[in-house]
Structure 1
Amino acid sequence: KYIRNVQVVFSEETSAETQGRYFGNYGIIRDIVHSHILQTIALFAMEPPVSLDGEDIRDEKVKVLRSIRKVDIEDVVLGQLKDASGDVDRYTKSMTPTYFAAAMYIDNARWDGVPFLIKTGMGLMENRYSR
């Protein structure tokens, strides 16, 4: 009732050259979104489990994950890190996204109508202060 939105921001701050080799094959979606971001959302949005037993916690997380509405392409922004020279794909040498932003919704009574705003990418915090 009182929450306008939930924001989940994850900035990958390791060496871009090191990450470039990794992201060139997998990208930010497969590396960060489907694992780290969804785990965070599941833990945050789940109902209190009946106990702290691992299976009870897992069951509540699964309920959240199953309640996530299919993401519309209009609610997604993809991009790549750009270095100072303007070379967009210097690190990945591919079209693999290194930036992802989206609005997601959980269709259950607690989170009805509350967007979960996700933003993740390489160097978000580092580049935030350089402008």
Structure 2
Amino acid sequence: MSLIAETLPHIAGGLSVAVLLGSTSWAARRIRARRTAPATPPAAVPDTTGGADTTPAHPPVPATRDATAAVRTYTFLGTLTAGGRPVRRATTRPAGSVTTLTIDGHTQNFQLTDIPLGDNTFAAEPLD
């Protein structure tokens, strides 16, 4: 009986510490998840189109977009600028969206993906 009486305070203390650490960790994750806007505005993405006309065929619809959406830069696979570099575009559209790219008078549809590339951009795969 004395063994149980001597170890009970240690067990209770250990459980109290575990509950305290768990609740602190949960609260910290919840606070981080609520922060949707970055503390500093994102850096401007340099124009890497090399003179290519990247105007979308249809105008964007800002009223339906989420104001807190993150800006992602996409590399359009299979396209090159006049300088021989891949065409890139920054957008807040979610992955799975279809966008149109016009280069030298040719229009091509691309699907934005969640596939990260080695240059810190995401892949935009051609559909046509």
TM bucket, shorter chain: under 0.3
What TM-score, normalized by structure 2, do the two folds share?
A: 0.27
Q: Which structure: greater helix fraction?
A: 1
TM-score (norm 1): 0.26
User: Greater share of strand residues, 1 or 2?
Assistant: 2
- Which fold has the larger relative contact order, with Cα–Cα distance below 8 Å and residues 6 or more apart in sequence? 1
- Point out the structure with max Rg over C-alpha: 2
